[in-house]
Structure 1
């Protein structure tokens, strides 16, 4: 049989281990803490990361499931999400399918391709890029074209512009523009060299689109 002294020693060791485990799990004992976590759900002003509901800091905008974030805990046990390290499980760039509409008849992609990519940078900055390839069964619709962003621009007074390139019977260089608080972009191309002028892209401007034509454009903007 184990001696009384041995029993007391085992009991003391067990109590020490229990106290250590409790201390490791209690913020009031160990103090504040931070770590990396992956967002699994988005709430109003909160995100759930690794099973913990965390309040979002004001700078952490446009949260998405899959964001890799820094979360920290106060000594009272409250958790907060301080900000995104990277989006989409660390891939940085994300895919999206831009909406493609027209003011008269909406186009349809058919056997062509319409692909978008975007990334979010610090200070509520985002970059979106789009590639539209016309296929033999693509319906180009009619009217002024409008393309969708992955999320809206900031609601302020400024507008944003980027570059556009259409490879068709010739190469056409233009711009892509978007206003404040908007998720729709217009692409513009020159209509004349003298005087210099430009109009929004349509199914026939700057040229009637046909199979094999490729439109590319990129925009940097502040998101909401």
Structure 2
């Protein structure tokens, strides 16, 4: 190979490299990247330093997401969202807290199951609580932890409650503004008013009973 051929080959390699890394030359393009940080202004920054604006389709960005990023010929970057995982979970498990106004319960061998699904600022949460033989029930009105604090707004959020305790009792769960927990109410004696759930209301809460809660609310 002559020196002229070597120079020509090197020049061609450099031109190709510049074209591959310069949007103005190569035109629009896309590739995969990993999210390093999430910006407050609707952007994400990838591990290799690209700042891409999220499209409306990309909700709940998280560090570590594998995303598609698209480049325009002018060098602007956008991302439509994360790629699908091998096994996608549409609901996320969590363990809800269980407290009381006067004396907190002791969980013992109770089974607490929580699941939530989040879409941007909207959260759907479901809780199932089954006390066990070593559970201590505390005293005072019960409270159950939310997966995220509620929005600091003027509205409250009302969901459904179902207690199976010999008989079946239908009530409501309520989360106020800027709340980290929700309380539960069931119809009091006579059924015209509601009272907070406790160990003795609406029935004596005992081992093997089942409490189910479901709520949709706005996240802070």
Same fold flag (TM > 0.5): yes
Residue of structure 2 aligned with 1:159, choices 144, 156, 161: 156
Distance 1:68 1:196 in 2: 53
Between 1:31-40 and 1:202-211, the stretch displaced more is 31-40
The corresponding residue for 2:147 is 150
Q: CA deviation digits over 1:180-201, x for unaligned, max 9? A: 1111100110113x46111111
- Residues 1-224 of structure 1: matches in 2 within 5 Å? 2=1, 4=2, 8-9=4-5, 11-30=7-26, 39=35, 49-50=46-47, 52=49, 54=51, 63-65=61-63, 71=69, 90-122=88-120, 124-192=121-189, 194=190, 196-224=192-220
Unaligned runs of 5+ in 1: none
Q: CA RMSD in A?
A: 3.2
Distance 1:23 1:42 in 2: 29
Q: CA deviation digits over 1:49-76, x for unaligned, max 9? A: 4554747769778654455656555767
Summarize the Cα distance change of 1:92–1:21 in structure 2 as closer, same or farther, 3 Å threshold.
farther
Distance 2:196 2:106 in 1: 19
State TM-score, norm by structure 1.
0.78
Summarize the Cα distance change of 1:37–1:161 in structure 2 as closer, same or farther, 3 Å threshold.
farther
State TM-score, norm by structure 2.
0.79
Unaligned runs of 5+ in 2: none
Assess if the C-alpha contact under 8 Å between 2:126 and 2:214 holds in 1: yes
Other structure's SS at 1:21 match: helix
Equivalent residue pairs, number: 217
How far 1:16 moved relative to its partner?
Answer: 2.8
